Amino acid sequence: MSDMPFPNTPRVDATDKVRGAALFCADDARAGMAHAALAVATIGRGYVLTVDTSAASAVPGVRLILTHDDFRDVKSAGFIMGGGYGFQSLLPMLSQAVAYRGQPIALVAADTLETATEAAALVQATYEAEPFSVTLDAPGIEIVNQADTPLKNFFPEAIAGDADKAFEEAPVKVEATFTCPPQHQNPIELIATVAEWKDDKLIVHEGTQNAEAIRHGLAVALGISPEHVEVISPYAGGGFGLKNSLQMQTVLAAVAAQRLARPVKLVVPRTQVFHDASFRPATRHHVRIGADRAGHMVAAIHEVDAQTSRHDLFPGEYASTSARLHGFEHFRGHERLVRTDVQTPGYMRAPFEHPACFAMESCVDELAYVLGQDPVALRLANDTAIDPISKLPFSSRRVADCLRRGAELFGWGARTMAPESMREDDGTLIGYGVATGAYPGVIVPTIARLKVTDDGGVVISIGGHEMGQGIRTALAAAVSRKLGVPAERIEAVIGDTRAAPQHLTAGSWGTASAIPAADAAAESMLTALRELASGDISASQTPAQILKAAKRSALEVEVQTKAPGQPDAIFDRLRSGLVSVGGPVYADFVTFSYIAHFVEVRIEPRTRRVRLPRVVSVADCGRVVSPLTAASQVRGGVVWGIGATLREASEVDPRYGGFLNADLAEYVIPVNADIGSIEVEFIDEPDFKFNSAGVKGLGEVAMTGVAAAIANAIFHATGRRLRDLPIRIEHLL
């Protein structure tokens, strides 16, 4: 195993992308394609009584209209976190029930997109409306203690010692409540499906993070064998958790394509994406930290209320990350799920870790001010090598290095402690804030096939999806280094159920899972090549030269890797398209990635706009396989943190249900002018305990802690503790 850092190499698919030649699902514009559009429910909950499709079907060019009468043979593929495949268990149009506003009630397919769109708008429905609840405190909600459900077997509460007693007895206490709004992932690529049947085989093109769940989910939904389903997804135009499972439109498009015996393209409009796919649920966090007078954190309690849907329990895993931020002696986490009448919320970049770190790291800053201690020093003094919950050692934990290096790069030493103590001559308030973030280190089973050919080609077929994080580039870098073949000659076939089983790519486990598999495949290939050459190969010989010398046109190897301690049966689960994660607590260690963010805010003296001229982020993600794309990942995570903290909230009108600001003008994600300098560094120390490549996850830890760093900087600038996201002008006037 090489212990050398990797060099900077360009993104391997960048040339196609800058040419507009990378083909996304909706770029399939073949002749003969039918276009589909959806009509959606306008009530917050209840039943569709009648669906009048007469006006829609009268539009010339309309070929098919499907309503709840047309799905009698279709069944739900289940909820991904309930042993199934869908983003929620509810598949629309299987019955007349309406669970939330925006749920599809009819599909129209036509020869052109214009016709389908026009006709879908002409579908008229009558309803029987029922009362509904869409906010955490609304009448009619139902609160479920997660620990009282079967979820406790998979997501046990993070508890160590007696946190309540220790908190009670602690001489220094801080306690606060934080809220995070519902937010939407909003990748710029809309969710979309192109479905086509060839004989009895269903071929689906879709930008996804989970081709295998689509394949198996379709098989369950349509009652066909998974052998008859292929899912192809070379590129996803951003995922961020939105595309982690079978979407509702996939099944609808597949059924329409079957009825029409024609390929069908269904691109879900942005407003419908807000309602017919997952989102980050609203949460409320009650945090208490107790410390001794020297600042040693003896106890922390983190209690969370998190929104879920009426029909599914979206598990909460908030406190299991906040527990790992510092060396708490005693800790108690507690999650309650609040059932509301929405589509099932789900995973949105750092789904639990962003809110959890916002709450805990804001509270730690409050503790620093109660103690009168520097926020960096307080964190350094509470570092630990031992996991507070399991009492196992961390496989690696370089958060102190992140803090020290970040403080140096940022110039933290120039900060004066008192709030409102730093300002420009014109009255602009300046604030410096710091926070750390953490994200669990998880690995999934991976099967890789590596093939070399005598023309110099190298193809690795492996589980994994490219949604911009750079997995293709990381795979090329890893295989290139092992085989001594230039990265541009290495083709990674990913996101394709024909090539290899495709586990969900999410949870920042992509690199930590795929790179060790790619490494192992390359090692196996080197062994096979040595055998082929009877052990007689020199370092300068390429695989192609060895093949030619041995008069072989190609050589292929297959390997499989999995998380430490996972049983071999996990590969069957992988092949079934089910989530098969291992970690972050392993038999003799615990793995988390860490990051420290330092931000400078500048706040206008009167109109109080908050600007972030610079951010410094130092990450501990183990070995960095693709430094260029990894740095971009971190910058992207910081941009997400800025958006989540200062911009984004999905607005809810309890009288109507659904989401109100359901477009990209009113749901304000950061624009170019919002972003200043973002300086990124890596500790780049491999964690070989975790896996053979020494890689830990990065994509999501990058976002964790940003919100707290900004909120802490705003406190430093203004003296105001703002505990409800997003922080906007009205909170600072």
Partner 1 sequence: MVATFDDAALQAETTVASTATASLQINVAVNGTPHTLTVDIRSSLLDVLREHLVLTGAKKGCDHGQCGACTVHVDGRRVASCLTLAAQVDGRQVTTIEGLSPRDGSLHPMQQAFIDHDALQCGYCTPGQIMAAVACVQEGHATSTEQIREYMSGNLCRCGAYVGIVAAIQDAAAKMKQV
Partner 2 sequence: MRPFTYTKAATVAEAVRVVAAADRETRFLAGGTTLYDLMKLNVETPTSIVDINSLSELSGFDTSGSNELTFGALARMSDVAADPRLMREYPALSESLWRAASQQLRNMASFGGNLLQRTRCAYFRGGEPFACNKRNPGSGCAAREGVNRGHALLGGSSACIAVYPGDLAIALVAFDASIDVLGPNGQRTIAVEHLHREPGTTPHIETVLEPDELILRIRVPVTHLGRGSTYHKIRDRESYAFALASAAVAIRMEGDTVQDARIAIGGLATRPWRAREAEKALIGQPLTLLTARAAGDAALRGAKPTNDNSFRIELGARTVADALMIAKQRALAS
Q: Which residues are near partner 1 by CB under 8 A?
A: 10-11, 13-24, 26-27, 29, 60, 112-115, 118, 186-190, 235-240, 267, 269-270, 466-470, 628-629, 631-633, 635-640, 663-665, 669-675, 677-678
Q: In the complex, what is the shortest distance from the CB of residue 415 to partner 2, in angstroms, rounded to a whole number?
A: 25
Q: In the complex, what is the shortest distance from the CB of residue 492 to partner 2, in angstroms, rounded to a whole number?
A: 35
Are 450 and 443 in contact, with CB atoms under 8 Å apart?
Answer: no
Q: Distance (Å, rounded) from C-alpha 5 to C-alpha 516? A: 15
Q: Distance (Å, rounded) from C-alpha 510 to C-alpha 497? A: 16
Name which of 153 and 607 has its Cβ closer to partner 2.
607
Name which of 20 and 535 has its Cβ closer to partner 1.
20
Judged by CB under 8 A, which of 45, 302, 647, 696 binds partner 2?
647
> Torsion-angle region of residue 279: left (phi > 0), alpha (psi -120 to 50) or beta?
beta
Q: Distance (Å, rounded) from C-alpha 358 to C-alpha 642? A: 12
SS3 assignment for 518-557: HHHHHHHHHHHHHHHCCCCCCCCCCHHHHHHHCCCCEEEE
**518 token code pair:** 């790619």
Q: Can residue 341 be called a binding residue for partner 2 (CB under 8 A)?
A: no
Name which of 621 and 646 has its Cβ closer to partner 2.
646
Q: Distance (Å, rounded) from C-alpha 242 to C-alpha 182? A: 14
Binding to partner 2 (CB under 8 A) within 248-277 occurs at: 271
Binding to partner 2 (CB under 8 A) within 27-66 occurs at: 42-43
Name which of 20 and 150 has its Cβ closer to partner 2.
20
Q: Can residue 425 be called a binding residue for partner 2 (CB under 8 A)?
A: no
Pairing of strands 229-232, 201-205: parallel
Cα 82 versus chain centre, distance: 18
Q: Can residue 724 be called a binding residue for partner 2 (CB under 8 A)?
A: no
Q: Can residue 558 be called a binding residue for partner 2 (CB under 8 A)?
A: no
Residue 424 burial by Cβ neighbours in a 10 Å radius (0-12, 13-18, 19+):
exposed
Instruction: Report what 652 binds from partner 1, partner 2, none; CB cut-off 5-8 Å by kind.
Output: partner 2
Cβ contacts of 531 within 8 Å, gap of 6 or more? none
Judged by CB under 8 A, which of 12, 219, 652, 706 binds partner 2?
652
Q: Can residue 728 be called a binding residue for partner 2 (CB under 8 A)?
A: yes
Instruction: Report what 587 binds from partner 2, partner 1, none; CB cut-off 5-8 Å by kind.
Output: none
Cβ contacts of 122 within 8 Å, gap of 6 or more? 55, 56, 59
Q: Can residue 671 be called a binding residue for partner 2 (CB under 8 A)?
A: yes
Per rule CB under 8 A, count of chain residues that contact partner 2: 36
Q: What is the dihedral sign for C-alpha 391, 396, 397, 401?
A: positive
**72 token code pair:** 């009698």
Q: Can residue 674 be called a binding residue for partner 2 (CB under 8 A)?
A: yes
Residue 261 burial by Cβ neighbours in a 10 Å radius (0-12, 13-18, 19+):
exposed
- Please identify which residue in the block is written with the tokens 């919002």: 674
Instruction: Report what 629 binds from partner 1, partner 2, none; CB cut-off 5-8 Å by kind.
Output: partner 1
Name which of 47 and 688 has its Cβ closer to partner 2.
47
Judged by CB under 8 A, which of 409, 656, 681, 692 binds partner 2?
656
Q: Can residue 424 be called a binding residue for partner 2 (CB under 8 A)?
A: no
Q: Please name which of 56, 63, 58 lies closest in space to residue 256, comparing C-alpha atoms.
A: 63
Q: In the complex, what is the shortest distance from the CB of residue 270 to partner 1, in angstroms, rounded to a whole number?
A: 5
Q: In the complex, what is the shortest distance from the CB of residue 279 to partner 2, in angstroms, rounded to a whole number?
A: 17
Instruction: Report what 224 binds from partner 2, partner 1, none; CB cut-off 5-8 Å by kind.
Output: none
Name which of 51 and 467 has its Cβ closer to partner 1.
467
> Torsion-angle region of residue 6: left (phi > 0), alpha (psi -120 to 50) or beta?
beta
Cα–Cα–Cα angle for 498, 502, 506, nearest 5°?
A: 150
Q: Can residue 114 be called a binding residue for partner 2 (CB under 8 A)?
A: yes
Q: Can residue 651 be called a binding residue for partner 2 (CB under 8 A)?
A: yes
Name which of 325 and 612 has its Cβ closer to partner 2.
612
Binding region for partner 2 (CB under 8 A)? 42-43, 101, 114, 117-118, 121, 271, 604, 606-609, 611, 647, 651-653, 655-656, 660-663, 665-666, 668, 670-674, 728-730, 733
